[in-house]
Structures are given as structure tokens and as C-alpha cells.
């Protein structure tokens, strides 16, 4: 085991990144838990009112999740060096240079350290952000088509209502004031969104588990404070990381 005195701490994750990460973890865990109950509502004997309540709570957690994600997407443009998309996504000249250095280091038996995400981690991060964005986008649409919540709820009510005066009175899982033909059209419009939401749910769940496994394995192998960095903002290295100027 390396002597701690030979290690140097380097700042990497700013406060915005750390807050986003842990708030995102809590939101995703909450959404997975509630979503799992919703998917198995019939088996669990959940009543119609109970299902509406679950979906409403799911949407509110989803709002927090979407707002947190939106701020992180913006921070990827205006944030600190290692928070920016140029240091995260697997594209561009810098990424090619990092990939070449990592490959050469492995061939030479001298692994190259990275303060930010290494080239393999960038692939995972890109996939996670893509799936998180898809889940947030489809979730907002489903909130409007299922329980008539913002931002699309009022538009969906107007679509399915028998007339404009009935739109305000429409309630989830109620046929009162609803035009059956328009309702079927709305549900057909909704179908691709719920299909994507459903499959992204399982794909995201698999990638989250793979991400956690990769973090644990990398932490045990490299011992650079990969996990603790999401609390302290710093990683430690015995040699200067490749991506530090």
C-alpha cells in the first residue's frame, strides 16, 4: 500500500457537480422505487386512487430530477474545467489524445492516471446523460397524458375534452367530460413515449449497476479517491495525472 505522504491531492469536481451527482442519485433511486411499484400495481393490489397518488408523487420527484439535470446540462457549458462537456463527452481531439495515452500506457504496463473521467468512463457518462435526458423528456410528456400534470397536462385535457368548458373538470382515470374518440387518439399519441420510457427505465437501471460496479473496481485498483472525490471534490495521485496542465 502506498505511503499517504507520497500522494498529492488535486481538485476536480466542483460543488455544483457534487450536489448534482448526489441529488441525481436520490431522485433516480426514488423514481426507480416508485416506478417499480407502479409497474406492478395490479399484482400488489394497488387501488385506482393509490395508483394516481403514486403517479403524482412520481411526477413531483421527476420535476426535481428534470430541474437538476437541466442545471447540470447548462453547467456543462459554463462550469469549471472538468465539469464541461469537452472534458466529459467521448469526442474531439482531446478525447483522442487521452485515448491514445491510455492505450499506450496499458501496452507499456504503465497505466496513465486521469484527474477527470478517463476515456472509457467518458463513454459511460455520455450514455448515462443521454438516457437521463430521454427519461426526463418522455416523463414530462407522460405526466401530461396520464395524470394531466404540467407542462402538457392542460393541452391534453383540451384535446380529450368533449368541449372547452369540460376541460377544467377532467380528472385522471375518469371518463367524465371525456370524448372517447379524442381520448383514444391521445393515448395513441402517448404510446411511443411510454414505450421509450419503459425501455430506457430498464436500460438505465442496468447501466447504473454497471457504473457502480466500475467505480468500485476502479477505486480498489487505482486507490485515487474516486468515491471520496464526490464528497471532497479532490482525487489523490502519486504521479501527476495526464490531464493536468
Instruction: Look at residue 3 and tell me if it is in a domain.
Output: no
Per-residue confidence (pLDDT) for residue 215, from 0 to 100? 94
- pLDDT band for position 1 (50/70/90)? very low
Look up the domain containing 188 and give its range: 8-109+117-231
Global pTM reads 0.92
The string of pLDDT tens digits covering residues 200-240 is 999 999 999 999 999 999 999 989 999 999 999 999 999 99
Instruction: Look at residue 245 and tell me if it is in a domain.
Output: no
The string of pLDDT tens digits covering residues 94-151 is 999 999 999 999 999 899 999 999 999 999 999 999 999 999 999 999 999 999 999 9
Per-residue confidence (pLDDT) for residue 164, from 0 to 100? 86
Cα(35)–Cα(88) distance, integer angstroms: 29
Instruction: Look at residue 237 and tell me if it is in a domain.
Output: no
Cα(29)–Cα(15) distance, integer angstroms: 21
Mean pLDDT of the chain: 94
Q: Is the pLDDT of residue 11 over 50?
A: yes
Instruction: Look at residue 1 and tell me if it is in a domain.
Output: no
Residue 12: exposure state from Cβ atoms within 10 A (0-12, 13-18, ≥19): buried
Point out which residues pair with 9 in neighbouring strands: 236
Instruction: Look at residue 65 and tell me if it is in a domain.
Output: yes
Residue with cell 420535476: 63
Q: Is the pLDDT of residue 196 over 70?
A: yes
**Phi and psi at residue 156, in whole multiples of 5°?**
-70, -40
Q: What is the CATH number of the domain that holds 128?
A: 1.20.950
Cα(6)–Cα(4) distance, integer angstroms: 5
Per-residue confidence (pLDDT) for residue 5, from 0 to 100? 59
Instruction: Look at residue 212 and tell me if it is in a domain.
Output: yes
Cα(134)–Cα(88) distance, integer angstroms: 18
Instruction: Look at residue 194 and tell me if it is in a domain.
Output: yes
Instruction: Look at residue 62 and tell me if it is in a domain.
Output: yes
Cα(135)–Cα(8) distance, integer angstroms: 39
Instruction: For residue 147, give the C-alpha cell.
Output: 395524470
Q: Number of folded domains in the chain?
A: 1
Amino acid at each position: 500500500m502506498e505511503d499517504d505522504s507520497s500522494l498529492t491531492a488535486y481538485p476536480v469536481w466542483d460543488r455544483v457537480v457534487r450536489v448534482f451527482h448526489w441529488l441525481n442519485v436520490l431522485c433516480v433511486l426514488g423514481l426507480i422505487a416508485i416506478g417499480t411499484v407502479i409497474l406492478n400495481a395490479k399484482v400488489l393490489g394497488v387501488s385506482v386512487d393509490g395508483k394516481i397518488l403514486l403517479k403524482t408523487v412520481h411526477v413531483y420527484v421527476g420535476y426535481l430530477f428534470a430541474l437538476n439535470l437541466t442545471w447540470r446540462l447548462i453547467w456543462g457549458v459554463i462550469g469549471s474545467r472538468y465539469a464541461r462537456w469537452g472534458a466529459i463527452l467521448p469526442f474531439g481531439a482531446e478525447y483522442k489524445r487521452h485515448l491514445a495515452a491510455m492505450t499506450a500506457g496499458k501496452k507499456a504496463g504503465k497505466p496513465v492516471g486521469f484527474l477527470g473521467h478517463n476515456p472509457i468512463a467518458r463513454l459511460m457518462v455520455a450514455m448515462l446523460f443521454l438516457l437521463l435526458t430521454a427519461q426526463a423528456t418522455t416523463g414530462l410528456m407522460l405526466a401530461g397524458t396520464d395524470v394531466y400534470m404540467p407542462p402538457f397536462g392542460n393541452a391534453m385535457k383540451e384535446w380529450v375534452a368533449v368541449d372547452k368548458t369540460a376541460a377544467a373538470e377532467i380528472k385522471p382515470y375518469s371518463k367524465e367530460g371525456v370524448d372517447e374518440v379524442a381520448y383514444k387518439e391521445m393515448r395513441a399519441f402517448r404510446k411511443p413515449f411510454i414505450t421509450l420510457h419503459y425501455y430506457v427505465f430498464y436500460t438505465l437501471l442496468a447501466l447504473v449497476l454497471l457504473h457502480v460496479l466500475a467505480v468500485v473496481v476502479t477505486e480498489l485498483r487505482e486507490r485515487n479517491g474516486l468515491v471520496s472525490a464526490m464528497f471532497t471534490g479532490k482525487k489523490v495521485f502519486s504521479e501527476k495525472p495526464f490531464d493536468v496542465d
